[in-house]
């Protein structure tokens, strides 16, 4: 017996319900963003084989326990940097000619820092000439925030889990910094200080005691308002408090203490390296539709997928819209940039927004939006990360492991918290916001997965 | 025109709606917890005069900006301790004969610590003889957690705001500690170390730089999962990180660093002292129904109200129910204890539960309960505290300033987060939970306010 009123529910074209009062219009679109060919290719994949491959891939990711074991020169962690002149940058592969200004600026700065040129023009000429090999971080077990430039002498975080390792630079703080393309003397002086004092001191601290369980640190910080990408003050404070005694015992300088006390994003790079190590553990499982990398080079957005090896699926990327610092607007913004989306790839950052309601004041939106963002990411991910419970969602784990097929099925795109760089090298950060990955990379990934599945 | 269905809503006796399907039963009870005489007295108070007095009182409370300026011996901060033999304890006034075991134990420990006796039995005899003056913290501009015992040589936090000041001890950490009534050699050794090294070091740190804005610190920590009473790891980490450089410059010992790194409740006492200073600013406004103190001595719960001066309204207190550590139950619990409810009096602690969903795992309940607790406290408070926005409630300020008349009107009792002490001195903490203040103290307060209003 129908006791309540009958209502019209429509999934599809608005036209059908025009004139029907109170009809509930569902936000339905055909899957694969309307691309029937990709929908057919996705439907053609072997469901059982995909499920089994994904179980294996995501289990590996969730079993990773990256520890911050050492702070070393990049050349000592990354063989590609150990001889000749090579620099790494963020995002999918790109040639010098097509690079955006902030990345070029950062490469100029790194060239000057390494002493390969003695003026910005000289550095630019050297880089344009091809005399310095340019390669992307992700291709070498590394990640870098924003421009993401890594040069041989830079000190950085080494995280390890058994034989597995990942590397990234030390976070420089805010203001004029290399990762936004700045390369004036203040930037180079800081890099030298990080190389000569901060890096070696942090390494001595690690050798003096236990390594740092980065998964545990981030897990604790998610209960303290961090999401591990745009908000890192809890993890940084916990870490600085824990290391303070060791630093004091080593006679660390006031500048080291001040740097740790004043840089609220110190642990961002650490969580990036840990996420990189974890996601690399999920690579190269034949048939798996797990996204193992998302990144941007300021021109293109790129992803890699477990079942398609080192192949990049890319699409043009625009600037993030969000909240701009006074005096700036989206007209000043560089297209989205950096390897930091490796945090979302793992399930923190934008995926864990529910953990960080305070961040909504910084990137726009409300705490309800934060809960909605995390709930929405549950629709496109494989599991909840057991090490990252979020108090506000009843301690459910952060949604973890993007499944290309779920993105295609739901038309829901991954959300990414991001800083916004000025389009001119060296101006620096001008805002922060939330971006979604472009649909095209997931459509291409399905094509790639279908190709790989062909006998 | 009535277009929707008619429903039965009932406020009052269940009987009336028996047999009516789907009737909505509101949880209505007569005001003043059913005490018609108190309801009549409350209704007889001058509404305009009360409102004006309350505006004045709560404005003063919210204008207070307590800063941690010094770390000093109690005798140097509290004149009552500067000569003769006097000890302070938590809660409303009570005689030695009626005190609970943990408070007696703490007084024995303090007597030994001061060298006024050389054995526990000797100390007990001295205390029973009346040779040591016993007085409550609140009567002297101080507060103390749990047993809350303060003796002349103990070092503690001094917070100041212009001429206003408040004092409390330094937090001892968990385990065997004086505030749970323990007084063995490990407890006394720690107190001596706090007197001889930790206290003087912290004071030197303060004199070396800026004082600490406690309101700002707590406000920041509320965006990081603290509620400022049972969860203090964010504020403690922020503070330890900020002071690390100054401590290192002073050559602070490894024990000082370890103490700050391992005691997650270090800032609890600081937030208590700051709350005491703020609430004292709201005292003695004729006609104001603002609660300016809530505290427990392990036998009675007591409140003071702005419009009734130093008068205490008390009622018997029971043990808190909550989550017990393995091996313990409510049968082992001491009745509720301590001055720490000054945090709820200001609007943090249990009132700000929405800020600390992670705490619900520790005290029982769910994150939804945390939101509900804060929403419920809005019904009995005067304003939202502008310095304590809670991200999860859309950055609404914590509900602040309990109005005796609102408690009476709504029958909603203040919630308090609390640690649970074993009923035997020295066993220590055996759990944590949430308690509500007894209704009787608010009924008595209305009687007191009515008396004070008589010409």
- The pLDDT score that the predictor gives to residue B12 is 45
* Residue A1 belongs to some domain of the structure: no
How does pLDDT run across A151-188, given as a tens digit for each residue? 999 999 999 999 999 999 999 998 899 999 999 999 99
My answer on whether A298 and A202 are in the same domain is no
pLDDT at B5 over 50: no
In sequence order, what are the residues at sequence separation of 6 or more whose Cβ sits closer than 8 angstroms to the Cβ of residue A78? A88, A140, A141, A142, A150, A167
Question: CATH number for the domain including A159?
Answer: 3.90.1710.10
pLDDT band at residue A24 using 50, 70 and 90 as cut-offs: low
| Beta-carbon separation of B368 and A258 below 8 A | no
Query: Is residue A411 domain-shared with residue A311, that is, in the same domain?
Result: yes
For residues A57 and A67, membership in a common domain is answered with: no
- pLDDT in the model for residue A22: 54
Same domain for B24 and B147, yes or no, is no
> Are residues A310 and A422 located together in one domain of the fold?
yes
Q: Among A239, A273, A307, give the residue marking a domain's end.
A: A273
In terms of CA atoms, which chain A residue is nearest residue B248?
A248
Residue of B nearest to A393 (CA): B367
Average pLDDT value for chain B: 93
The total number of structural domains in chain A stands at 2
- Which of B340, B337, B338, B366 is closest to B353 using CA atoms? B366
In a domain, B315, yes or no: yes
User: Is pLDDT of B1 > 60?
Assistant: no
pLDDT in tens, B78-133: 999 999 999 999 999 999 999 999 999 999 999 999 999 999 999 999 999 999 99
A178: in domain = yes
The two tokens of residue B195 are 């007197």
CA distance B175 to B198: 18
* Tens digit of each residue's pLDDT (9 = 90 or more) over A321-336: 788 999 999 999 999 9
Structural domain including B130 reads: 68-273
pLDDT score of B240 more than 80: yes
The nearest CA of chain B is from the CA of A89 a distance in Å of 32
Q: In the prediction, which pLDDT does A3 show?
A: 42
Q: Which residues of B touch A (CB under 8 A)?
A: 223-225, 233-234, 236-238, 240-242, 244-245, 247-249, 252, 254, 257-258, 260-261, 357-358, 360-361, 366-368, 391-395
Number of Cβ within a 10 Å radius of residue A93 = 15
Full 3-state SS string of A172-233: CCCCCCHHHCCCCHHHHHHHHHHHHHHHHHHHHHHHHCCCEEHHHHHHHHHCCCCCCCCCCH
Cβ of A245 within 8 Å of Cβ of B257? The answer is: yes
Chain A residue closest in CA terms to B254: A245
Instruction: Write the CATH number for A436.
Output: 3.90.1700.10
Q: In degrees rounded to 5, what are phi and psi of residue A371?
A: -60, -40
Q: How far is Cα of residue B148 from the mean position of the Cα atoms in its chain?
A: 11
At A28 the pLDDT is: 64
Q: Do B242 and A261 touch (CB under 8 A)?
A: yes
What's the token pair of residue A62?
A: 């969730």
pLDDT of residue A123: 98
Any domain includes A24: no
Closest residue of A to B358, CA-based?
Answer: A391
State pLDDT tens for residues A362-409: 777 788 899 999 999 999 999 999 999 999 999 999 999 999 999 999
* pLDDT for the residue numbered A11: 47
In a domain, B278, yes or no: no
Name the pLDDT band for A426 (thresholds 50, 70, 90): confident
pTM over 0.90: yes
State which of A5-14, A23-32, A79-88 shows the largest mean pLDDT: A79-88
pLDDT in tens, A32-68: 999 999 999 999 999 999 999 999 999 999 999 999 9
CA–CA min distance B216, chain A (Å): 15
- For residues A209 and A307, membership in a common domain is answered with no
- Residues from chain A contacting residue B224 (CB–CB below 8 Å): 224-225, 233-234, 358
Structure tokens belonging to residue B380: 């009995």
**Residue at A132 is within a domain:** yes
Measure CB to CB from residue A244 to each of B234, B238, B257 and give the nearest one.
Answer: B257
Same domain, B258 and B304: no
Give the model confidence (pLDDT) of B157-184 as tens digits.
Answer: 999 999 999 999 999 998 899 999 999 9
Those residues with Cβ within 8 angstroms of residue A257's Cβ, 6 or more apart along the chain or in another chain: A244, A247, B244, B245, B248
Q: How far apart are the first and last CA of chain B?
A: 53
Say what the pLDDT of residue B22 is. Answer: 55
> Is residue B246 within 8 Å of residue B203, measured between CB atoms?
no
Of B228, B257, B191, nearest to B359 by C-alpha is B228
Look up residue B377 and give its two tokens.
């406290």
Residues B50 and B23 in one domain: no
Residues B239 and B189 in one domain: yes
With an 8 Å Cβ cutoff, the interface of chain A facing chain B consists of 223-225, 233-234, 236-238, 240-242, 244-245, 247-249, 252, 254, 257-258, 260-261, 357-358, 360-361, 366-368, 391-395
pLDDT tens digits for range B251-281 = 999 999 999 999 999 999 999 999 999 999 9
Q: How confident is the model at residue B27 (pLDDT cuts 50, 70, 90)?
A: low
Tokens of A276: 């990189």
Answer yes or no: is A136 within a domain: yes
Residues A198 and A226 in one domain: yes
Nearest to B240 among A223, A244, A361 (CB): A244
pLDDT tens figures, B28-65: 678 999 999 999 999 999 999 999 999 999 999 999 99
pLDDT in tens, B198-229: 999 999 999 988 999 999 999 999 999 999 99
Mean pLDDT score of chain A: 93
Kindly tell me if the per-residue pLDDT of A1 is higher than 60. no
Distance CA A325, CA B236 (A): 30
Q: What residue has token string 């208590």? A: B272
Cβ pairs A/B, distance under 8 A: 101
Q: How far is CA A299 from the centre of its chain?
A: 16
Mutate to test the interface with B, among A22, A198, A219, A224 (most CBs of B within 10 A): A224
Same domain, A112 and A137: yes
Chain B contacts of A366, Cβ < 8 Å?
Answer: 394
> How close does chain A come to B267, measured CA to CA in Å?
14
Using a pLDDT cut of 90, give the percent of chain B over it.
85
Q: Are both B187 and B232 inside the same structural domain? A: yes
> Is A255 within a domain?
yes
pLDDT tens for residues A238-256? 999 999 999 999 999 999 9
The residues that bridge with A276 in the sheet, in sequence order, are none
Contacts of B241 in chain A (CB under 8 A): 236-237, 240-241, 244, 260-261
Q: Looking at chain B, which residue has its C-alpha nearest residue A221?
A: B224
> Given this model, what pLDDT does residue B17 score?
47
Q: pLDDT at residue A2 above 50? A: no
């Amino acid at each position: 017996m129908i006791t309540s009123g009958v209502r019209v529910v429509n999934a599809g074209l608005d036209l059908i319900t025009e004139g029907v009062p109170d009809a509930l219009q569902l936000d339905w679109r055909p899957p694969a963003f309307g691309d029937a060919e990709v929908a057919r290719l996705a439907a053609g994949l072997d469901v059982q084989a995909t499920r089994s491959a994904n179980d294996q891939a995501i289990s590996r990711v969730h079993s990773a326990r990256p520890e911050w074991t050492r702070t070393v020169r990049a050349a000592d962690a990354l063989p590609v940097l150990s001889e000749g002149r090579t620099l790494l940058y963020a995002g999918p592969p790109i040639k010098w000619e097509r690079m955006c200004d902030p990345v070029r600026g950062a490469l100029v700065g790194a060239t000057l820092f390494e002493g390969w040129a003695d003026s910005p023009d000289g550095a630019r000429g050297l880089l344009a000439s091809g005399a310095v090999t340019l390669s992307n971080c992700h291709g070498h077990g590394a990640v870098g925030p924003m421009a993401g430039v890594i040069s041989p002498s830079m000190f950085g975080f080494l995280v390890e889990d058994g034989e597995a390792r990942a590397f990234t630079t030390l976070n420089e703080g805010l203001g004029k910094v290399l990762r936004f393309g700045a390369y004036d003397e203040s930037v180079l002086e800081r890099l030298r200080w990080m190389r000569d004092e901060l890096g070696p001191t942090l390494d001595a601290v690690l050798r003096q005691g236990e390594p740092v369980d980065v998964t545990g640190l981030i897990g604790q910080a998610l209960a303290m308002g961090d999401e591990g990408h745009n908000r890192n003050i809890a993890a940084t404070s916990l870490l600085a408090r824990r290391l303070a005694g060791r630093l004091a015992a080593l006679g660390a300088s006031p500048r080291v203490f001040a740097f740790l006390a004043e840089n609220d994003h110190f642990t961002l790079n650490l969580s990036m390296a840990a996420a990189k190590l974890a996601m690399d553990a999920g690579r190269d499982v034949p048939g798996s539709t797990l996204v193992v990398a998302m990144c941007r080079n300021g021109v293109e957005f790129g992803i890699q997928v477990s079942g398609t090896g080192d192949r990049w699926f890319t699409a043009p990327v625009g600037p993030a819209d969000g909240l701009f610092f006074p005096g700036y607007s989206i007209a000043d913004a560089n297209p989205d940039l950096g390897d930091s989306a490796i945090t979302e790839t793992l399930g923190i950052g934008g995926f864990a927004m529910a953990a960080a309601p305070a961040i909504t004041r910084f990137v726009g939106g409300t705490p309800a939006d934060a809960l909605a963002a995390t709930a929405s990411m549950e629709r496109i991910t494989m599991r909840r990360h057991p090490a990252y419970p979020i108090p506000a969602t009843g301690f459910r784990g952060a949604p973890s492991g993007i499944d290309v097929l779920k993105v295609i099925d739901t038309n829901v795109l991954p959300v990414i918290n991001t800083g916004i760089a000025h389009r001119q090298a060296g101006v620096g950060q001008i805002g922060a916001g939330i971006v979604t990955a472009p649909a095209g990379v997931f459509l291409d990934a399905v094509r790639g997965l279908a190709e790989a599945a062909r006998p």
